[in-house]
Structure 1
Amino acid sequence: MQSFLRQSRVSINSRSWVCEAHLLDSGSKVLPFIVTVCGRVGSETPISCEYSGLRGVIVEETAEQHFLKHNDAGSWIQDSALMLSMSKEVPWYLDDGTGRAFVVGARGATGFVLTVGSEVFEESGRSLVRGTLDYLQGLKMLGVKRIERLLPTGTSLTVVGEAVKDDIGTVRIQRPHKGPFYVSPKTIDELIENLGKWARWYKYASFGLTIFGTFLIAKRAIHYILQRKRRWELHRRVLAAAAVKRSEQDNEGTNGQAENGSDGTQRDRVMPDLCVICLEQEYNAVFVPCGHMCCCIICSWHLTNCPLCRRRIDQVVRTFRH
């Protein structure tokens, strides 16, 4: 505790905290506010642990039954089951030598941990009748494991929370409606340093996710642009090829009356029936229902409308020409 908190609310990253616990009383006019209090745990009515003999203000006792269980494979596997879970708490405070500040709801605070006071294993009795019954049920009782966890008196803690006064004027530290709530054996400087590390990790993670998101958006946009460009090029080539095809058909119709059959056969050999899309393969696909044949089977897979009449293509039928 190094300087008195004069602001009504502060962040944990602030270096201002309560200098002495008795100064909380002098700041009663501005209560509640966020404070940091350091001191040793104390209580008027501490709890005495049954197995360890330690005295604490929060005590948790658990009992687990350990046993061997016979599985379907015919082997024995170790397992456990919770028999008892009990928790006790008495009113407690932090004392820095100048005053006391009671702490409420510490179990839900960040950084709160309980010390293991004792861990005892009680073996099960070797009764013949009990052992036979358990064996028939596919069990072998090993014993009971009892664990005591507690917050011992005299422990140094740092509490960051909201300072309020109850109806009788007692100052207490509790979870704020908005803001941090820490109950930790670490000092305030260690808490600030730890938060700084997490803040840096979050910063790096957000930066990486931003880059990754930008990459995904740019990739999708480029793919969309290239796809539109390919469609436009295909459409342009289809229209140009269709115009050439119509022109050739018109010329053939005009010149067909003046030419004989042998000339037509020779022209067919010189000008093969090429696909109007790729201009490389001979057309061998018939569009249904219009019946036009002007594209190869490969280019036909990429079309939805006939290049000649613009009717929708319901089916493409491959033909084999001699």
Structure 2
Amino acid sequence: MSSHEQALVSLLSQLALSLDGAVLGVALAYAAVRSLLKFTATSSSLRKIRKAPSLKVSDLRSILTVDDDSSEGQSHPSDQSIVVVRGTVEAKSAVDPNWKNFKPNVLVSQESGDKAVVIQRTQTCIYNEWKGVFGWTSDLRALFARSWREQESTSLRTVPFVLVEGYGWSPDFVVVNVDGSRHCLPLTTVYHQLQPINASPYTFLQALFGHEYPVGMLDEVKILPLGKDITAVGLCSVKNGIPEIKSCKDLPYFLSDMTKDQMIVDLAFRSKVLLWSGFALSSLSIGILGYAVVRNWSRWKEWRQHRQLQQHRQATSNDAASQIAAEEETGDVPDGELCVICLMRRRRSAFDPCGHLVCCQSCAISVERESTPKCPVCRQEIRKSLRIYDS
């Protein structure tokens, strides 16, 4: 572990354990709430997928009702239902002759030559981590800007595609609508290469002063190949007499390699993990927060008692000092018995160990509170003052 990582871990641990672990307890409570919310969403998705019928492409029309009075032959929004369809990826032009006249047939990967309907290319710029000669400032940047060391750009190309069942002159198919979907696609990596970047004079200056500079470009191409069997889970409807399926934002899957049974098993496992982790985190957070509350409450009570005791002592000392001053100031005091400091009150306190009786009680207390208390007559260091009473 590097020095800046150790500093970051130390800072986070001190922050988490502050206030007797109250910050850590709040963080665990937040994680528990997030876990339980995810469990609720996952359980809802599990129920929906369990209830969703698993159909063939040829059986989709039997569960969808089409509005015959509509000029476009579309189904009502209320008729849309969640279905699970297993089919083979094929370009729309393979089943719709009219579409060939306007769009290209398929996409072809330039690196491998494989034919596909979706091509995703990701380029990631990789930076170095050398501090350089004057690179002490890079440690500060690394604590707060470590994610900036990789700059990623992703481009996505797609053509309309369908899921077909069987091949022939008129195979049954369902159109896949990926517009507005943020679900991950079951893409296959066909090209993965790391290309070094040549250094320049400007790169040398960046390295000299500790600035990060690019050292390589990671190029990755993923495709959705033709002929791949995938499962589509989403809302199905009929448009222009053709079944169409689109993603449902409440479901974690849209296009996947898994079957319906595998999805159910995966979601059931996720829900159990989220549920028990939520219970564990919530129990741990309640214990830590309870401990922090008790500790801080005890500290507050101790501080309050200490504060009240200090106020009581201060009030008592002030009353005693005022009473002593009143007693000492009553009557006439001969010149030989006046305090050598204030020259107003009678000499009442003797210093230990010199034994000089030259100060009143108030001035003796002031001398005693000094950092290096000394007798005002012999300048000898004193340990304390003693109140002298007349018999």
TM-score computed with the length of structure 1 as normaliser: 0.54
Report 1:122-141 matches (<5 A).
135-138=200-203
Residue 54 (structure 1) aligned to one of 102, 111, 114: 114
Report 1:307-318 matches (<5 A).
none
Structure 2 match to 1:252: none
Whole-angstrom distance in 2 between the partners of 1:106 and 1:121: 32
Percent identical residues: 16
Structure 2 match to 1:153: 226
Residue 205, structure 1, aligned to residue 241, structure 2: no
Structure 1 match to 2:191: 118
3-state SS in 1 of match to 2:315: strand
Structure 1 match to 2:319: 291
Q: Which is richer in helix? A: 2
Mapped contact 2:55–2:83 kept (Cα < 8 A): no
Report 1:264-303 matches (<5 A).
285-287=313-315, 291=319
Structure 1 match to 2:87: 39
Whole-angstrom distance in 1 between the partners of 2:253 and 2:60: 18
Query: 1:153 offset after TM fit, Å?
Result: 0.7
Whole-angstrom distance in 2 between the partners of 1:286 and 1:25: 91
Residue 145 and residue 25 in structure 1: after superposition, are their counterparts in 2 closer, same or farther (change >3 A)? same
Whole-angstrom distance in 2 between the partners of 1:89 and 1:55: 12
Question: Which amino acid counterpart does residue 110 of structure 2 have in structure 1?
Answer: E
Residue 54 (structure 2) aligned to one of 12, 15, 18: 18
Q: Which runs of 4+ in 1 moved over 3 A?
A: 9-13, 61-74, 80-86, 106-111, 119-124, 134-147, 177-181, 216-234, 317-322
Q: Which is richer in strand? A: 1
5+ unaligned residues in a row in structure 2: which ranges? 1-44, 66-77, 94-104, 135-148, 205-212, 322-365, 370-383
Mapped contact 2:248–2:254 kept (Cα < 8 A): no
Mapped contact 2:46–2:267 kept (Cα < 8 A): no
Query: 1:200 offset after TM fit, Å?
Result: 1.0
1:55-113, CA deviations, whole angstroms, 9 ceiling, x for partnerless residues? Answer: 10101235678999999549xxxxx9989854311111112336211112278454524
Residue 89, structure 1, aligned to residue 117, structure 2: no
5+ unaligned residues in a row in structure 1: which ranges? 1-8, 75-79, 125-130, 239-276, 278-283, 294-316
Mapped contact 1:68–1:142 kept (Cα < 8 A): yes
Question: Which amino acid counterpart does residue 291 of structure 1 have in structure 2?
Answer: D
Higher RCO (Cα < 8 Å, 6 or more apart): 2
Mapped contact 1:12–1:160 kept (Cα < 8 A): no
Mapped contact 1:59–1:89 kept (Cα < 8 A): yes
TM-score computed with the length of structure 2 as normaliser: 0.46
Aligned residues: 229
